[in-house]
């Protein structure tokens, strides 16, 4: 049970926030920027390829060693969480992170929308939230 | 659970087989033509497999994004789920790729896809003496066996997805 990393992608596909919770999860900076924009387009292609109308994009990607959960807000910002395949309650955790984003980033008067998030309070709150989640998961 | 469609690609990325059970959103509203739709699906598969190999949180020596990989090397991915469908993938060592779109509540289908490859594709296509490996094919026997196999695994309960789509 582990949470590896968090990515926040703005509505045009740029990476605005990246945090790794495990050392091994660290990805090269250039690669993480590219991964973010690739995810943005894959998300759009997946809804285009949908055999049913009204598809809003990928919500969960399952791989051998990790699961990637994606939450897209109404404004097009995407929150990605890379977690262990056995982790549970991740969609709820993503919603909590979105709440923290609204509180600490969007309400920050010095934050310019769609720009890189540099906000200490958000960092701390996310860190605390993930720590609390892991403790609860172990208990 | 129901199935929407199945794509089989050869190692070069050409779609050698396509079968559709139920597709309420026509190709025209998506990629445009069926050939483009198949190319796009292969592109999605290809990009996602590179994406997963680079993102793999358990691998210390991650390949840089875009480095060539051998078939089966690096972290593989099984499926993705969207708000309306689930897309299941399997790549076998010979480079044949199976992509099956199902109902979004479908369970892990890795074993089912592997069995589909072993028991249906190999039996009815590869063992056919007239089949040229890697070429597109059409075979009634294969279609019948495929339908029977999916029905046996409870994957062709179409009324469920039809009800969900309407």
Where do the domains of chain B lie, and which CATH numbers do they carry? 3-165 (3.30.450.70)
- Give pLDDT tens digits for B82-97: 999 999 999 999 999 9
Across the interface, whether the CB atoms of B22 and A51 are under 8 A apart is answered: yes
- Give pLDDT tens digits for B108-132: 999 999 999 999 999 999 999 999 9
DSSP B83: S
- Give pLDDT tens digits for A98-120: 999 999 999 999 999 999 999 99
CATH code (residue A81): 3.30.450.70
For the segment A2-28, the average pLDDT, to the nearest whole number, is: 91
For the segment B126-152, the average pLDDT, to the nearest whole number, is: 92
For chain A, what is the domain count?
1
Q: Using alpha carbons, select from B110, B86, B79, B112 the residue that is nearest to residue B3.
A: B86
Residue B63 has pLDDT above 70, yes or no: yes
Which of B45, B80, B108 to mutate to probe the A interface, most A CBs <10 Å?
B80
What domain range is A95 assigned to? 3-138
Which tokens sit at A25?
């999860």
Residue B74 has pLDDT above 90, yes or no: no
Helices A120-138 and A90-100 sit at what angle, rounded to 10 degrees? Answer: 160
Helix, strand, or coil (residue B67): coil
Across the interface, whether the CB atoms of A46 and B22 are under 8 A apart is answered: no
- Give pLDDT tens digits for A62-93: 998 999 999 999 999 999 999 999 888 899 99
Residue A137 has pLDDT above 90, yes or no: no
Q: Using alpha carbons, select from A22, A69, A5, A13 the residue that is nearest to residue A41.
A: A13
Residue B154 has pLDDT above 90, yes or no: no
Residues whose CB falls within 8 Å of the CB of residue A96, separated by 6 or more in sequence, listed in order: A129
**Percentage of chain B lying above the pLDDT 90 cut:** 57
From the list A39, A63, A82, the residue facing B76 with the nearest CB is A63
What residues of A are in contact with residue B64 (Cβ under 8 Å)?
A: 28, 31
Does A27 lie at the interface with B, CB-CB under 8 angstroms? yes
Q: What is the mean pLDDT of chain B?
A: 89
Helix, strand, or coil (residue B61): coil
Helix, strand, or coil (residue B77): strand
Which of A51, A67, A74, A84 to mutate to probe the B interface, most B CBs <10 Å?
A51
- For chain A, the three-class secondary structure string (H helix, E strand, C coil) is CCEEEEEEECCCCCEEEEEECCHHHCCCHHHHHHHHHHHHHHHHHHHHCCCCCCCCCEEEEEECCCEEEEEECCCCCEEEEEECCCCCCHHHHHHHHHHHHHHHHHCCCCCCCCCCCCCHHHHHHHHHHHHHHHHHHHC
Pick B154 or B89 by higher pLDDT. B89
Check residue A13 and give its pLDDT: 93
Does A106 lie at the interface with B, CB-CB under 8 angstroms? no
Q: Using alpha carbons, select from B36, B39, B43, B1 the residue that is nearest to residue B22.
A: B1
Check residue A37 and give its pLDDT: 94
Check residue B166 and give its pLDDT: 66
């Amino acid at each position: 049970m582990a949470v590896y990393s968090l990515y926040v992608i703005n509505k045009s596909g740029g990476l605005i926030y990246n945090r790794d919770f495990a050392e091994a999860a660290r990805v090269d900076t250039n690669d993480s920027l590219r991964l973010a924009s690739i995810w943005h387009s894959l998300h759009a292609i997946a809804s285009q390829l949908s055999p049913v109308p009204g598809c809003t994009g990928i919500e969960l990607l399952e791989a051998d060693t990790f699961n990637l959960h994606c939450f897209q807000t109404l404004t097009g910002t995407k929150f990605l969480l890379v977690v262990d395949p056995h982790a549970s309650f991740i969609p709820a955790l993503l919603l909590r992170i979105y709440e923290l984003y609204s509180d600490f980033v969007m309400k920050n008067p010095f934050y310019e929308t769609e720009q890189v998030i540099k906000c200490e309070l958000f960092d701390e709150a996310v860190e605390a939230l993930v720590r609390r989640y892991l403790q609860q998961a172990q208990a | 659970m129901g199935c929407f469609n199945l794509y089989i690609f050869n190692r070069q990325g050409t779609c050698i087989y396509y079968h559709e059970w139920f597709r309420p959103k026509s190709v025209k509203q998506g990629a445009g033509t069926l050939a483009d739709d198949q190319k796009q699906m292969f592109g999605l598969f290809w990009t996602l497999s590179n994406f997963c190999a680079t993102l793999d949180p358990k691998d210390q020596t991650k390949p840089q994004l875009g480095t060539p990989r051998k078939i089966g090397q690096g972290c593989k991915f099984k499926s993705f789920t969207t708000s309306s469908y689930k897309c299941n993938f399997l790549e076998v060592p010979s480079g044949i790729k199976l992509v099956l779109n199902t109902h979004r509540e479908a369970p892990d289908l890795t074993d089912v896809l592997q069995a589909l490859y072993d028991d249906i594709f190999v039996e009815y296509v590869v063992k056919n003496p007239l089949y040229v490996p890697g070429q597109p094919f059409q075979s009634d026997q294969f279609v019948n066996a495929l339908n029977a196999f999916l029905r046996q695994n409870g994957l062709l309960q179409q009324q469920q997805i039809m009800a969900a789509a309407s």
